[in-house]
A = this chain, B = another copy of it.
Amino acid sequence: MQERLIDRNPLPPGIGARLASQLAFVAEVDRLKSVLRASLLAAEERRENDAEHSWHLALMVIVLAEYAEEPIDVGRTIQLVVIHDLIEIYAGDSPVYDPAAVRTQAVREAAAADRLFTQLPEDQAAQLRAMWEEYEAGTTPEARFGRALDRVEPMLLNWLNEGGTWGMPGANLGTVRARAAGIEPGSSRLHAAVSALIAESTARGWIRPE
């Protein structure tokens, strides 16, 4: 197993055990900046990483909260999106249009969660694990809205890139619409807007018909 980043240069004495384990965790999650997604940025020609993506979702919660299907606690929704991809530090990204990656995703991610969250003090390990599970299950208005934004963001990037990941082998009008359908439980208004992007992108040849 890979060493933790902090093990390369352990913290000096004089920092209490609880804070030291929290700072070690804060150091370890620097790895999220190195997990590449399939999505291309709009502002420059390179792939997006998970930390940037998670920040973008947090910003979208602030700007788009009024479109949530049910009333949401904005602060709690941001917490969910900030931590939603943390387990990819060890599990890697699973591109939605890559069936092989999606097949093994759940098993890889549960193992990664066990390994990651247990690096925190017990109370916080339980708290972050519960937030991640809430997000994954989509059982609250906050989780449903976060999951909606997680689908809106890459589709907006694809629009700005004149196709982007819609050009991947597994993507066509059917699979793209199926992915976009996951927006509706969190926000029917945003689902309608994304549907307009998808229709126009198909008309322009950026999405293959089924």
Contact = CB atoms under 8 A, between A and B. Distances in A.
A59 interface: yes
B19 A42 contact: no
A58 interface: yes
Nearest to A33: B52
B197 A11 contact: yes
A23 B46 CA distance: 21
Given A42-B27, A59-B83, A124-B63, A160 B8 contact: yes
Contacts of A41: 30, 33-34
A143 interface: no
Interface string A152-172: 010011011010000000000
B43 A58 contact: no
A145 interface: no
Contacts of A15: 193, 196
Interface string A30-42: 1111100000011
A80 to B, nearest CB: 10
Interface in A106-140: 120, 124, 128
A153 B29 CA distance: 12
A9 B42 CA distance: 11
A15 to B, nearest CB: 5
Interface size class of A (residues with CB under 8 A): 35 or more
Interface in A36-82: 41-44, 48-49, 51-52, 54-56, 58-60, 62-64, 67, 73-76, 78-79, 82
A5 interface: yes
A98 interface: no
A102 interface: no
Interface string A19-30: 100110111011
Contacts of A6: 160
A14 interface: yes
A25 B156 CA distance: 11
